[in-house]
Chain A
Amino acid sequence: MPKAARILLALVVLAAAVLLPRVAGPFWLGLVTQMYVFGLLALSVDLLLGHAGLFSLCHASFFAVSAYTTAILQVRHAVPTALAAPAGILAGTILGLVFGLAVRTRGVYFILITIAFGYVVWGVAHRWSSFTGGDNGVTNVPFPALGTLRVESPTEYYYLVLAVLVLCTIGYRVLVASPFGLTLRGIKASETRMRSLGYHSDLHLYVAFVVSAALASLAGVLYVYYNRFVNPVAASFPISVEVALMAIVGGTGTIVGPFIGSGIILGLRNWVSSFFELYASVMGLVFIVVVLWAPDGVVGLVVRLWVRAVKAGTR
């Protein structure tokens, strides 16, 4: 697609997002806010999956640790948002500094070790009830407020999430187009070659892991203010799997992909679960269909059909 068309498309999508609260009711607005939050989490997973070639299954940990930190500070200690939110991001990022040691392994070992890390965090959230509130979690999280500026309705919060999302997407775009972003794709393509060209590949992957954890933590903060409570489900393994699926279904290595995937998976889940209990098996089928017929996700499929249409047109 030519550059002008891309910019135009981005503006149209942005305009639609800005106008959405005028037409959508509270249910739809809530669902779309959720899609944005999980899209951001899927985007953080995709920095590793789509760019560096690492399949992490512990991103729910950063998401949950930051959500819990913010919630506990804000609810129990009455810490204002201006401190509670950054503290949440910081806590998730520090956890990323520790879990990042997983980059010493590759492939299936990396996947297994991240699963194990994820379960540790879930276990803590679940069992250490005196601190985390156990299964009930932390409830009554207020809307965020900055001094006298306070969010007072879901619609206002929707705009706040949208603004953060736009900024993050721009930052992410710069990052993946930077020399550092290129080194990640180089490592994905051939790590042996990267080493022989002078790259300390483990260190690059470690930095990418921490950046990714920071982004996941930001999503965690947005989540807790949207949800108004947090419980161990946020830290659970299915969340880690689901966000990875979002990136894959939407299209890995792209920026819009994780958001499209988030929209599809959350949309489908809401729709299917309204009339069919075994919604998880439907998700499984969707995943199988994507892997078999659209391995590059929805974005890859659209690009492929587009190329075919252009070829047919010029013939």
Chain B
Amino acid sequence: MALSAIEVGDLTKDFGGLRAVDRVSLRVAAGERRVLIGPNGAGKTTLFHCITGTLRTSAGRVSLFGRDVTHLPEHRRTALGMGRTFQTSNVFMDLSLLENLVLAIIGTDRRKWVMHRSVGTFEAVRAKAREGLELVALAHRANDAAKFLSYGERRQLELALALNSDPRVLFLDEPCAGLSPSERHSISRMIGELPRDITVLMIEHDMDVALRLADRVTVLHRGRAILEGTPTEVQTNPEVREVYFGHV
């Protein structure tokens, strides 16, 4: 069997007495598009935080392409190929868009330590940053500070930051949350066009988006993974209909 991009075994996260994630196991194949769904409070974001290292796990294992990363800090996991977006946009508000992207690009290489040359002299990095902005249709605002972007544009920048850290596995936490239908369409198209050498895990509330992009879907409910299957299987499963859509 091919090496899994992400393998999570019995992952548990407790906040004091509250068990937010309860013995979740997942196996995501390289190149797969996996969507996590579940009602509010199901533990989806907490699970993401634990896999990417934003939070420490209480118990369980996480491995990335067969390598155990359970005890590695977040920045080391990023260096090994994890990239993520945040549910509420987490961009560098006071910096220009170009600087935002430069930080994403040099985050995993040694150039971040250079002290004796100005950023402006790194032509290759700047060119790549411009390309990255073009990809999310923000190139015309390269020199504006991120705080002047609209909500939707910030989501685009958020995605660009994650993409430019050169991830092998990309974690998207509700990339379309709070967007207008047209913005939602353009973001989901960008995600759909990502090359298959990037594995994508995505939390998404919008069922249309989720089911169109997903190869497989995992349903979380009260911290547990209650079902995994193809979009059609999940959609027709009576248990899912009950927890996710409520009683009919």
Contacts and interface: CB of A to CB of B under 8 A. Distances in A.
Choose among A181, A192, A198 the residue with the greatest number of B CB atoms under 10 Å from its CB. A198
A180 interface: yes
Nearest to A197: B107
B119 A179 contact: yes
Contacts of A201: 75
A177 B120 contact: yes
A189 interface: yes
B74 A193 contact: no
Interface in A168-192: 174-175, 177-183, 185-186, 188-190, 192
A178 B84 contact: no
Contacts of B75: 195, 198-201
Contacts of B73: 195, 200
Contacts, number: 98
A283 to B, nearest CB: 29
A286 interface: no
Interface of A is mostly: helix
A179 B114 contact: yes
Interface string A144-181: 00000000000000000000000000000011011111
Given A181-B115, A181-B119, A194-B103, 9 more contacts: A177-B118, A177-B120, A179-B117, A182-B102, A190-B92, A195-B54, A196-B90, A198-B107, A198-B108
Interface of B: 52, 54, 73-75, 78-79, 83-84, 86, 90-95, 99, 102-104, 106-108, 111-120, 122, 161, 165
16 contacts: A174-B118, A177-B119, A178-B114, A179-B102, A179-B112, A180-B114, A186-B92, A186-B99, A189-B92, A192-B54, A196-B54, A197-B103, A197-B108, A197-B161, A198-B108, A198-B165
